[in-house]
A and B are shown apart, each in its own frame.
Chain A
Amino acid sequence: MSAGTLLNLGFYISTVGFLVATIISATATDRFGKSTFGAVFTYLFIGTGILFVCNIFQRLGGSFFAISDDSLGIWYHIMFFMSVFSYHYGYMAFVGLGSGTVDGTKGREKQWGLFVLIFILAVFFFAGFAEPVLGLFLSQPIAGYGFLHFFSFAFAAIIGSHFLSVKLNLGKIGQAIAYPMFLALWSLAIIHLWELLSIIYKIVPVTFEFEQGVEKSLLIIASICVIVAALRLKSVART
């Protein structure tokens, strides 16, 4: 099997993985119905859905959107930040319930979901209009330092680490999602660290195929972890 075929396979598996993860997250959230927990886990569903969209977006490529590959990378990272933000909001709402400082999400998850939807649609349809602005940024020396990759790595790693705390004092529901979400977010974080080391700074000299293979593998791991978190949540809600 050629490297190209393997990479294609990796893309399809990771994309299907995130699609399945999104669907199972939706069904797990649905188990809690119109409730405080339902609202909290809606954030996790939204975060996972964004990752599925990110995969599709990246695969379509810059020429599909009439933008440069570098601009594609910027939009991809912005959507990735939104995904991690979504996980972060869900985590904060969950922990807030436990500490008694939050008495529900007050419908903010719906507003967030609407914002995310509108933003993603805008990116898909109008990314080309922002190309002159992004081109200006990309022409600056600072654009080559990999800040997007670094912030993506740091953000995902920090939020992922926070999820370990839900294992304590938040019952079986917290225990169900803590480790899988920690592993999912750290897998995603390591993707960006890997990009920094192999693409930006070239500290790890590898071929394009190898670099992409590692990325796809980590994406698959992340999608599996989110699936596990959602399945465990469903199981806890059922028993």
Chain B
Amino acid sequence: MEEATQYTTLISEVIKKQSIILGPEIAILKARSVPGLMVDNDGKVTGVGDNPQETLQKLVDQYVELSGQIVKNALGSIFSKYPNININTP
């Protein structure tokens, strides 16, 4: 449960950061396209699915596909706060 909460908080932060960069409409649209990820209209995560790690990776992949290196730069500071969570950013 604690792990799910951690992922929920992390993913919410990621969406919030992407909302600043891409705009809330696009950031939330991309987030909602990730299977298992539930996001309300304010960008707050309400569900991360059965495999939060996979959900997070797919979300990051969505944003990387859209804006490439910009995502990596933007999310670095967020991921540094969660050292036990590994994510691949190509």
Segment of A2-10, A108-116, A170-178, A209-217 in the binding face: A170-178
Asked if B69 contacts A237 (CB within 8 A), the reply is no
Q: A35-B21, A35-B23, A38-B23 are in contact. Are A97 and B66 (CB under 8 A)?
A: no
Asked if A35 contacts B19 (CB within 8 A), the reply is yes
Q: Is the interface of A mostly helix, strand, loop or mixed?
A: helix
Interface centre among B26, B29, B65, B71 (most CB of A within 10 A): B26
CB distance from A90 to the nearest CB of B (A): 14
CB nearest neighbor in B for A101: B73
Segment of A26-34, A118-126, A218-226 in the binding face: A26-34
A236 interface contact, C-beta 8 A: yes
A100 interface contact, C-beta 8 A: yes
**Chain A residues with CB below 8 A from B29, complex form:** 238
Asked if B68 contacts A36 (CB within 8 A), the reply is no
Q: A35-B19, A35-B20, A36-B20 are in contact. Are A174 and B26 (CB under 8 A)?
A: no
Asked if B21 contacts A36 (CB within 8 A), the reply is yes
Asked if B65 contacts A172 (CB within 8 A), the reply is yes
Q: Pick from B19, B24, B26, B66: contact of A171, CB below 8 A.
A: B66
Given contacts A35-B24, A100-B69, 19 further A-B contacts (CB under 8 A): A32-B22, A32-B26, A33-B23, A33-B24, A35-B26, A37-B23, A37-B67, A38-B23, A97-B21, A98-B69, A98-B73, A169-B68, A169-B69, A170-B67, A170-B68, A170-B69, A172-B67, A173-B68, A237-B22
